[in-house]
Structure 1
Amino acid sequence: MRMNNNIIETDVLIVGGGPVGLAMALELRYQGIDCILVEESDGVITHPKVGTVGPRSMELCRRWGIAQQLRDAGWPYDHPLDIAWVTTVGGHEIFRLNFPSAGERPLPVYTPEPEHPCPHHWLIPLLIRNLGQYPYGPVRLLCRLENFEQKDDSVVAQVTYLDSENTETIYAKYLVACDGAKSPIRKECGVDAPAYHPTRIFQNILFQAPELPEILGSRKALVFYMVNPKRLRYPLRSIDGKGLYRLTAVPQEDGEMRDPQEAVEEALGIDTPIEILSSLQWHLTHRVAEHFRSDRIFFVGDSAHTLSPSGGFGMNTGIADAVDLGWKLAAVLKGWGGSNLLDTYETERRPIAVRNMEEANVNLQRTLKRTLSPEIMDDSDAGEQARKQMAAKMERGDVRREFEAPGIHFGFRYESPAIIPDDCPPPINDPHQWTQSSYPGCRAPHAWLEPGKSTLDLFGHSFVLMCFQGEQGVENFEKACQQRYVPFTSIQINNPETANLYERAYILVRPDGHVAWRGDKLPSDPTTVIDRVRGYF
């Protein structure tokens, strides 16, 4: 970064300091790329939105060296992660999905980093601390983008520091818009994000109920779903596991927001002290931008796609965007990435955004369309029967898929000219019938190489050639990469179980951990493979 009379030069300007913008900065820093992140707010979150960091995002936090910090951010290790459907929190429990606490659950076979609750007001400060604020780091809070202009070789942006009203001009080679669902940058670029499904209006009520965890005891849950035929059928979520909660409600029929105190008391059904902290109306939209790129400007996270929160895919989809784009920007800026590599950001990520958006809507519709008997609230034989019938329907309806969806988090497969497919049929594209696969485009499978070291820990800064049947001929790969300045390493793995999991003798994995090519023998001339996976095609 160079500074001269209020003129700054950087490789990448990131606009927006939410979780995805900060993840973008973390990935660029990890790749050794200079960046500046400008955020109009002061970074303090008073109404946390995000609740759980998904397992693939946790793997990426492991990549950046901060996964343990997220686990230690404050969520109690002994708090159950159950999901419960109730008439009220203190009333009848109809159905419960049991998920062990973070301290008790075994590690899944497919990841070293299971999901973990870390709400927005913990997550944002944690990420900012790891990056550092200006002048010691790239994060510039209370800094507003005023305007920008694309040039042939740069993007020129004007920013204002809100506390001093000083202005600066930033020259960046690329701009990444992480400026939210309304994305003024995307709109200025003339890129539309059409709605796939009708917009819905909700009301989020944040409140403290400090005595509630002790009252609930063994009946505590991560999320309580209200089952009230008249007004409440949405979640009440524990935010910090200690007394901070968020209730999602629907505004009144006339569009006015509900009285927060009344709505919370109705949902709890327990006489306990509560303090309303905030009540906000928000619009649930289902949008995916028609394009994820406009020349030197890229749209990442909510600026590219908005999803229903049902399932918790939104932020996690955005973080995966950041990693896909981050290593490609690094490759081009360092000179070894081809001119077409950046186009594959949209090619690879847009179909995943559509898939995740549709799956989140399926989860939302399951809640909206659930038939609730009017007797279900009653303390009567008819009420008991209605609750048993609903529980049986939920059991048959596989409601667990909304809350345990590894196929959504891991099972996406990239298709682009930078991926070289097999002659074999690809894995079925069903997020609920997912197993780990080394098919090109898939996230490379996790397996333990030794205690504490996963195969995933091999990937990050270079292309990695995993060799399961000797390294003869690898020198041709090394030479081709050296001639093109492509970072490359190879590793011999002698574990038969890992070899079986990876399915082929040789697997070439990209810096983002996705398989670029595989085969049972190495090509005699690997230049075609190397050129294609680095964006020359």
Structure 2
Amino acid sequence: MGSIAPNTEPTAQSEMMYPAPLEANRDAGLSSTTNGDSAIDIETPILVVGGGPVGMLQSLMLARLHNIKSVLIEREPSTTTFPKMEYTNGRSMEIYRMMGLAKDFRAMANQYVPDSASFTELNVTSLVDSANGGPKAKMIHPWIRPSVEDMRAESRKVNDGSKYLEPHTRCHQIPVEAWLKRKIEELPDLIEGHWGYKFVGLEERDDDVVAEVITDGGRTVRIKAQYVIGTDGGGSFVRKSVGLESKRNYLDMTVAFVHIQSKALREAMNKFPPFWHINVLGGGLAVSQNEDDLFTLHLVLPPGGDATHMTPNELVDATIGGCNGPQPMAIDKGRVFLAGDSAHQLSPIGGHGLNSGLADAFDLAWKLGAVMKGWAGEGLLTTYDTDRRAIAHKNMDTVHFALANWAGKVWLEPIGKYGLELLAADTPEGEDARRGAAEGMAPAGWIHNQNGNMLGYQYLDKGTVIVEQEEGERPISDLDIYLPTTYPGSRLPHVWTKEGTSTLDLLKGDSFTLIDCSAEAAAGKVFEEAAKEVGVPLQIVRLHGEDNVRKIYEREVILVRPDMHVSWRAGEGVDAGDVTAENARNILKKVACL
């Protein structure tokens, strides 16, 4: 075997990419000699490179849902000390729930933000009143959003498939990472975690991948794995090691932030109602991290702006006063994958970053599990790239649109039209200016209210989705309004049964599920036998008599993937008893890529 080195020749896939890593000149230093398999120090089914939230969740999904072992390495000696993300959306919480972790996750988050706290955002002239008798801080417009408690009650009250099973959760990344690491440590037989291990490079072979890492003590360790998953962020060493680079897609702005604890700031802002985010017209943003005295303050600088000369105190004073796109996720021979920021970097606006990475990991976990356990064909792994890259492109477009919309409606238009001095003025003219600015801001409230985007994204790769039996057009959700549907590729809508069980809780993360709403359950029996013949794990869920479920689900028979997305459903008007054994076998073979 030759030396482990990055592939420097551009591939057809790499030419399709447009984002670049955070550090363009960051190259992995590689060993010049190797000694074949005799030099292997660790063997594992899967190596996960990058121990941030996406990497830890990837290992946890493989372990908890598929009983697959992995080695997880992280270059830093500990979990993060930066707050970064502070929002886990309802779809991500549904995935936590399938993993059996939602209740524990929410209990951890509630130590910082209670379920009674809302997701409301305020738009103001400044966070605090001016000193020396100057203008006082003024509210321009609030974007009112419900609390977890409110969303949970609404889900029970409105049982039409349009709601989340699990509401969103507010909690910043410092406690989230620490909690995830504890969960990793609870599974020592399935997850071998190493912090302080720096990834150096890899060689992808026909049957495995060999990676080199350097321990915190400077020792070189060679790891052989069937698959490698790069979750090592925007400057991904894994991505570089397989020769994937591209042009940087810059956003023409700079954002500096500081994480502070201040009772005085909370008391100064008590004139405003409770908030999650508070946007300041002068270009600032404050995030409430614990409903009390913990904040992350962001200062958005204009094009060409530089915050490197600013002290933390200056950044705070300025704030209170007023991304890269998707890359191919499957690489070369199909034994190296990217997930999260290593594949697609997104601006924090709209909360797509970590939530997109979590969805990457969830999709990849079930597909790897199926192939490694032998009940799906290798072709299933190629659908990870096509499915998730399409979603990454969509999220990238949404983020750019949201950023332009948000910056324009909140900062640029009001200031350009009225000026900060008039907007803060204690005069009738000031009141008129604030009313005019509020009218312009009101439509931008959808930015953190993207229910249609979060629940309504669809997988279109026909390798695991069958649509030939469909006659009508594919239903498409709006960004902010989710349209529940069982059209193949869509997430199965959450509906409460008569007994009070969510239909999503009836699914399994390691097998297909056939939902049969017919009286005779004939289709379920046919599929059950076909699954045994084909060798695909399948559970049958019989929901005869659940009229509300049947109405929302549109069809009598629906086949659902392990990730809660619909693979196939009976054609409109087709009786469940019309499904033949041959039909069932062909359907199962196709969705498992056999």
TM-score under structure 1 normalisation? 0.90
Paired residue type of 1:498: V
Residues 192, 290 of structure 1: 8 Å contact kept: no
Going by fraction, where is strand more abundant, 1 or 2?
1
Match of 1:310 in 2: 349
Residues 43, 141 of structure 1: 8 Å contact kept: yes
Tell me the SS of whatever aligns to 2:380: coil
Match of 1:183 in 2: 236
2:325 to 287, 294, 301: 287
1:66 to 101, 113, 118: 101
- How many pairs were matched up? 513
Residues 276, 288 of structure 2: 8 Å contact kept: yes
Q: Cα distance, 1:240 vs. partner?
A: 2.5
Q: Cα distance, 1:380 vs. partner?
A: 2.9
Unaligned runs of 5+ in 2: 1-36, 129-136
2:208 to 142, 147, 154: 154
Paired residue type of 1:17: G
Match of 1:353 in 2: 392
Paired residue type of 2:82: H
Matched, 1:94 2:140: yes
Q: Cα distance, 1:174 vs. partner?
A: 0.4
Match of 1:416 in 2: 461
2:449 to 395, 404, 409: 404
| CA offset digits 1:1-27 (Å, max 9, x no partner) | xx9986222111100111111121121
Residues 284, 319 of structure 2: 8 Å contact kept: no
Residues 266, 292 of structure 2: 8 Å contact kept: yes
Change (3 A) 1:161 1:135: farther
Match of 1:31 in 2: 66
Tell me the SS of whatever aligns to 1:138: strand
1:484 to 534, 557, 562: 534
Residues 90, 164 of structure 2: 8 Å contact kept: yes
Q: Cα distance, 1:247 vs. partner?
A: 1.3
Counterparts of 1:447-486 in structure 2, within 5 Å, are: 447-449=495-497, 453-459=501-507, 460-469=509-518, 470-486=520-536
Aligned residues: CA RMSD: 2.3
Match of 1:280 in 2: none
Residues 21, 178 of structure 1: 8 Å contact kept: yes
1:379 to 392, 413, 426: 426
| CA offset digits 1:492-529 (Å, max 9, x no partner) | 10210011010001000000100000003353111110
Match of 2:567 in 1: 516
Unaligned runs of 5+ in 1: 271-284
Paired residue type of 1:500: K
Residues 253, 305 of structure 2: 8 Å contact kept: no
| CA offset digits 1:23-81 (Å, max 9, x no partner) | 21121112111111111112332211000101100000111111122222221333332
Change (3 A) 1:434 1:134: closer
Match of 2:275 in 1: 221
Residues 453, 477 of structure 2: 8 Å contact kept: no
| CA offset digits 1:432-483 (Å, max 9, x no partner) | 3431110000000101125663111122121100001131143332222212
Matched, 1:115 2:168: yes
Match of 1:275 in 2: none
| Distance in 1 of aligned mates of 2:381 and 2:324 | 25
Paired residue type of 1:86: V
Paired residue type of 1:261: N
Q: Cα distance, 1:197 vs. partner?
A: 5.5
Q: Cα distance, 1:161 vs. partner?
A: 2.2
Paired residue type of 1:294: D
| Distance in 2 of aligned mates of 1:69 and 1:452 | 21
| Distance in 2 of aligned mates of 1:79 and 1:211 | 21
Q: Cα distance, 1:291 vs. partner?
A: 5.0
Paired residue type of 2:122: A
Match of 1:140 in 2: 194
Q: Tell me: higher relative CO, structure 1 or 2? Use CA pairs within 8 A at least 6 residues apart.
A: 2
Match of 1:246 in 2: 296
Residues 20, 178 of structure 1: 8 Å contact kept: yes
Match of 1:298 in 2: 337
Match of 1:442 in 2: 490
Residues 242, 331 of structure 2: 8 Å contact kept: no
| CA offset digits 1:112-151 (Å, max 9, x no partner) | 2010002100111111111217956432211221221111
